[in-house]
Structure 1
Amino acid sequence: MADKKTGFEIPEQMRDFADKSMDQAKKAFDDFMSATQKAMSNVEGSANAMQTGTSDINRKALQYAEEHMNSAFEFAQKLVRADDVQQIMNLQQEYLRKQMEALGEQAREISDKASRTAQDAAKAVKD
């Protein structure tokens, strides 16, 4: 009875393949993010209140997208290394909890930035 098998075994070759695939996907995503950030830098124009605020919000949204993708890649790598279904469930629960916390905080930050941008734009129109 000491030889207890769960029926959940992933061959090492599959784990290696998944690791390499994740590394390639992460590199492609990082390259995409670099190109996107460079493109955003090239199109930023004048410094009026609305444009500045919009650029800040866009940068923040891009930062959040990058954080979420990095978190997803990290989660996927942990899943590949999971030993059993219970560990997968625990990893998923932890990932979802952290993502929901992050989304709530990020939504508040974007909302605050949008409100400040609108107030600054309204103030600039009055002046």
Structure 2
Amino acid sequence: MTQILTNEALHKKSPQEITALLYEACYNNLELAIEEIDNKEFTNANEHLQKASDIIHRLGAGINYEAGIVADQLESIYSYMADLLVQANYTKNVELVKEVLNLLSEIMTAWNQAMKKNTDIQPKVIKQKANAYEQTSIYE
């Protein structure tokens, strides 16, 4: 089922929620690609695999490298997945798409669990003050 978000609703999402939506969209495109390959609808499969590939690249571009080694490892996984998708699209190999789907599923599950467990211990007022400071210090 495709869920359409308005621009306003999208702007209200946190970066973490947007990442979760990207994972979900990628997952859905991979599932549709498998279905299209099985049905020998290769043009449609190509479109879904390209969309999934674009999402993987966007996820890679959004990595926060301040997270350390985890960010580097995630970048390697995204790169591997992107390479598999190119190969899968070229050969229309369902097994390669399934491998990407399995990797994505694990990352997506971990991400969603981390979002559920995330407790913000810094009060909102302190964040606003820090934000104000950062914004003014940049231009001084």
TM-score of the pair, normalised by structure 2 = 0.29
Q: Which has the higher contact order (CA 8 A, sep 6+)?
A: 1
Q: TM-score, normalised by structure 1?
A: 0.31
User: In terms of Rg, which structure is larger?
Assistant: 1
